[in-house]
């Protein structure tokens, strides 16, 4: 029957079924996986082994923070400042990038010192994060082969430089769902959007159903269009949504499978629930002045990212599964000293505040925190700049990221790059290894979390990665 040709009797009968489905949908919200609806329950696979970790916060530093200026000190660079790359290094270090070999070596303009009981060295760029070094697992030997921002960001966030695969957040919500009944399971916030443009695949679903995509939130304006218009009551909105839901379901019955339409249907319901929950979660005025100062919200340089980090903690408390905080502007081809100083001023205190707040609230053990960018930067200068105008080129061949919380054994360093910081010479690891490790932390086996696409059982790590067991 044409869904747009019906009489009063059919309308009343079908509407009754539709309202029953809505009631069932509401009851399903309270189950153990907090599914969005009964069709979502069919997709969720659940954890493959026990884990106390419930959420992931990815502090993504877009543009490529320099590893040799943050967490991977290289005294040899200081000794060889301004000299060409030694022939011995070029000859003895395998897979050293040809680009930049003829450039002059550049010592870090920042000093390093040991922190904590572990004595891990951290740059004076990040004095606040350094205080938490005993909670950090620093991985200094990550590497891949893509030296361009867009594809590099896609590799970091999806496992493929093509931008055609599901993002990490989508895989997590596909596998585990979310405990947040009235908020998205996957939330994205972006700050300092200068530099390389955000890559939509980083919060997209690829070939997974569209319902698992990330929801972009503006901490100042909230979720776009989620506020009820003036003179419009909740009851009015409920009636409208009931009718839209029924119409969409009629249309969906004519479709063999349409994940975009299914996601749109769910988005209406989620939007309705968010109108009551999101404003409260996004309202930071309920936080104490002491807490806001911990995140640097009271200071101009740290206010924006501080708000995002504090919201990340509040979202974790609500059961949101995956939170991605993207901070741009780390691309320092020139004026690296000024660039990294400014980016560190904006992010260091908020990151430290997040770690401290999670820990004192007993949330760090159940929250995995990851910090890093799409690659690092070369130990040589780029071009013929001099003095403080000097910068570094992209270095996917060797770079650093760190993890904290979520069962991670802090106060340790995994992997080593060569004496200049070009490439790993001990424990080389790929983004796929890192992704496998993140999944493992939340009780997911990369080889069991599958989705049939084009007659192939796809896994989150593309062709597989190694779980970095020593992380735990």
pLDDT in tens, 88-105: 777 766 666 665 667 899
pLDDT at 137: 98
Q: What is the DSSP string of 121-163?
A: EEETT-HHHHTTGGGEEEEEEE--S--SHHHHHHHHHHS-TTS
In angstroms, rounded to a whole number, what is the distance separating the alpha carbons of residues 109 and 68?
Answer: 10
Q: Would residue 162 count as lying in a domain?
A: yes
- Look at residue 266 in the predicted model and tell me its pLDDT: 63
Q: Which of 267, 260, 265 is nearest to 223 (CA)?
A: 267
pLDDT digits (tens, 9 = 90+) for 282-325: 889 999 999 999 999 999 999 999 999 999 999 999 999 999 99
What's the pLDDT at 146?
95
| 423 CB neighbour count, 10 Å cutoff | 18
Nearest-angstrom CA–CA distance, 70 and 63: 14
Structural domain range at position 430? 46-235+284-471
Helix orientation angle between 234-252 and 8-28, rounded to the nearest 10 degrees: 100
- Does residue 228 lie in a domain region? yes
Report which of residues 448 and 35 the model is more confident about: 448
Number of domains observed in the structure of the chain:
1
How far apart CA 76 and CA 221 sit, in angstroms, is: 48
**Residues 213-233: pLDDT tens digits?**
999 988 776 565 556 677 777
pLDDT band of 236, cuts 50, 70, 90? confident
Q: What is the pLDDT of residues 199-218, one digit of tens each?
A: 999 999 999 988 899 999 88
pTM confidence score = 0.84
Q: How far is it, in rounded angstroms, from Cα 308 to Cα 315?
A: 10
Give domain status of residue 257, yes or no: no
Please check whether residue 299 lies inside any domain of the structure.
yes
Report the pLDDT value the prediction gives residue 201, as an integer from 0 to 100.
94
Is residue 438 predicted with pLDDT exceeding 50?
Answer: yes
pLDDT at residue 234 tops 50: yes
In a domain, 37, yes or no: no
**Model confidence at 421: pLDDT above 90:** yes
Is the separation of the CB atoms in 308 and 44 below 8 Å? Answer: no
Q: Look at residue 314 and tell me if it is in a domain.
A: yes
Structure tokens at 90: 């070029």
Average pLDDT of span 238-244: 71
User: Span 141-153, mean pLDDT?
Assistant: 96
CB 275 within 8 A of CB 227: yes
Residue 192 resides in a domain: yes
Question: Residue 317's domain is classified under what CATH number?
Answer: 3.40.720
Give a yes or no: residue 264 inside a domain: no
Q: For position 80, what pLDDT does the model report?
A: 95
């Amino acid at each position: 029957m044409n869904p747009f040709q019906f009489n009063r009797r059919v309308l009343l009968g079908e509407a009754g079924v539709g309202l029953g489905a809505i009631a069932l949908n509401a009851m399903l919200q309270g189950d153990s996986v907090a599914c969005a609806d009964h069709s979502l329950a069919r997709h969720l696979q659940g954890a493959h082994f026990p884990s106390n970790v419930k959420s992931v916060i990815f502090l993504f530093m877009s543009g490529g923070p320099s590893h040799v200026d943050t967490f991977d000190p290289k005294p040899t660079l200081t000794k060889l400042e301004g000299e060409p790359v030694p022939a011995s290094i070029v000859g003895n270090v395998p897979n050293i990038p040809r680009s930049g070999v003829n450039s002059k070596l550049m010592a870090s303009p920042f000093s390093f010192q040991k922190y904590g009981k572990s004595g891990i060295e951290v740059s004076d760029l990040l004095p606040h994060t350094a205080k938490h070094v005993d909670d950090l697992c620093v991985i200094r030997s990550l590497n891949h082969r893509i030296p361009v921002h867009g594809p590099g960001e896609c590799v970091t966030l999806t496992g493929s430089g093509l931008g055609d695969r599901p993002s990490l957040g989508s895989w997590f919500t596909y596998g585990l769902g979310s405990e947040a009944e009235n908020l998205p399971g996957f939330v994205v916030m972006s700050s300092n959007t200068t530099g390389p443009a955000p890559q939509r695949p980083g919060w997209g679903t690829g070939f997974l159903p569209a319902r698992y995509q990330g929801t972009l939130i503006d901490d100042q304006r909230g979720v776009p269009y989620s506020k009820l218009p003036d003179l419009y009551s909740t009851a009015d909105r409920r009636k409208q949504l009931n009718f839209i839901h029924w119409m969409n379901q009629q249309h969906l019955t004519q479709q063999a499978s349409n994940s975009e339409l299914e996601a749109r249907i769910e988005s209406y319901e989620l939007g309705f629930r968010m109108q009551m929950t999101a404003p409260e979660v996004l309202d930071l005025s309920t936080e104490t002045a002491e807490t806001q100062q911990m995140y640097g919200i009271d200071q101009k340089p740290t206010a924006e990212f501080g708000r995002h980090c504090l919201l990340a903690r509040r979202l974790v408390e609500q059961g949101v599964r995956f939170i991605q905080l993207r901070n741009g502007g780390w691309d320092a081809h020139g004026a690296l000293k000024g660039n990294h100083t400014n980016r560190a001023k904006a992010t260091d205190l908020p990151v430290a505040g997040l770690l401290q707040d999670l820990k004192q609230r007993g949330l760090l053990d159940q929250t995995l925190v990851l910090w890093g960018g799409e690659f690092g930067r070369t130990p040589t200068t780029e071009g013929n700049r001099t003095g403080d105008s000097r910068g570094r080129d992209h270095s996917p061949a060797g770079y650093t990221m760190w993890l904290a919380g979520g069962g991670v054994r802090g106060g340790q360093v995994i992997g080593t790059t060569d004496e200049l910081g070009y490439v790993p010479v001990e424990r080389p690891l790929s983004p796929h290894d890192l992704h496998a490790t993140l999944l493992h932390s939340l009780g997911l086996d990369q080889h069991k979390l599958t989705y049939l696409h084009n007659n192939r059982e796809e896994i989150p790590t593309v062709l597989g990665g190694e779980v970095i067991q020593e992380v735990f």
